[in-house]
């Protein structure tokens, strides 16, 4: 990702945080939509007690969701936005949050599961390539499974501000470059999909 795109993303969410405060709208979700996306991530399988990375964690809303569901995990959150990370750390002082830039920083540990939920929904140049590079790099640090959520390019009505990912193309890429154990759900939300990539066949849902 080039520096101009990076600055655009950071400033975009800084403005939304200033406008909406600690609400789902600050990270461009509705309250109901956010819950539906997070519930969909649980299709990955049993994560109770697992070590997870929430990549693009924003202000820690996924952690809050898991706590409200009574799902205890060893949580780490990464995000490029310093203000969102500061808010998350203030709300959850006992959990780990890190300002992280994929092009500059190093991942220093392994995780059982890695989640990317709506991380690449904002339209910037070269994003499809960035998505693929990010998935390849992150999967190296994933012991069991990775979940990736995005807006579907099959949507006939697209917002000019948003990025839409082709689910069929990403599925093929994942099978060829990450793991042969891949599943994709396009049935939970309107023109929105979540792809699950597993390290081996035993880690999928039973």
- Please provide the average confidence, as pLDDT, over all residues in the chain: 92
Query: Quick check: 206 pLDDT over 70?
Result: no
Contacts of 75 (CB under 8 A, 6+ apart): 52, 54, 63, 66, 95, 96
Overall domain count for the chain: 1
- 124: pLDDT strictly greater than 90: no
Answer yes or no: are the C-beta atoms of 150 and 192 closer than 8 Å. Answer: yes
- Give the pLDDT confidence of 51-67 residue by residue, as tens digits: 999 999 999 999 999 99
Q: Which position has the token pair 């960035």?
A: 130
- For residue 191, how many other CB atoms are within 10 A of its CB? 15
Q: Which pairs with CB-CB distance under 8 Å and at least 24 residues apart come from 184-189?
A: 185/40, 185/43, 186/152, 186/154, 188/36, 188/40, 189/33, 189/36, 189/37, 189/40
Query: Domain holding 127: CATH number?
Result: 3.40.50.150
User: Band of the pLDDT at 1, cuts 50, 70, 90?
Assistant: confident
Q: Which residue has the tokens 């390290």?
A: 199
pTM for the full predicted model:
0.93
pLDDT tens string 13-66: 888 888 888 887 877 878 888 899 999 999 999 999 999 999 999 999 999 999
Q: Can you give the residue range of the structural domain that contains 18?
A: 3-203
Write down the pLDDT at residue 93: 96
User: For residues 129 and 133, what is the distance between their CA atoms, to the nearest angstrom?
Assistant: 6
CB atoms within 10 A of CB 93: 8
């Amino acid at each position: 990702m080039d520096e101009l795109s990076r600055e655009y993303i950071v400033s975009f969410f800084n403005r939304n945080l200033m406008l909406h405060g600690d609400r789902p709208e600050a990270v461009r979700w509705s309250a109901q939509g956010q819950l539906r996306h997070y519930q969909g991530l649980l299709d990955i399988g049993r994560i109770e007690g697992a070590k997870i990375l929430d990549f693009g964690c924003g202000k820690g809303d996924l952690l809050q969701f898991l706590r409200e569901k009574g799902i205890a995990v060893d949580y780490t959150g990464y995000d490029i936005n310093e203000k969102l990370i500061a808010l998350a750390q203030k709300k959850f002082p006992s959990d780990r949050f890190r300002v992280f830039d994929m092009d500059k920083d190093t991942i220093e540990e392994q995780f059982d599961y890695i989640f990317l939920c709506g991380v690449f929904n904002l339209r910037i140049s070269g994003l499809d390539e960035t998505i693929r590079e990010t998935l390849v790099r992150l999967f190296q640090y994933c012991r069991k499974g990775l979940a990736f959520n995005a807006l579907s390019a099959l949507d006939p009505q697209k917002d000019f501000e948003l990025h839409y990912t082709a689910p069929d193309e990403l599925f093929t890429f994942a099978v060829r470059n990450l793991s042969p154990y891949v599943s994709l759900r396009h049935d939970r939300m309107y023109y929105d999909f979540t792809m699950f990539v597993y390290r081996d066949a035993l880690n999928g849902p039973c």
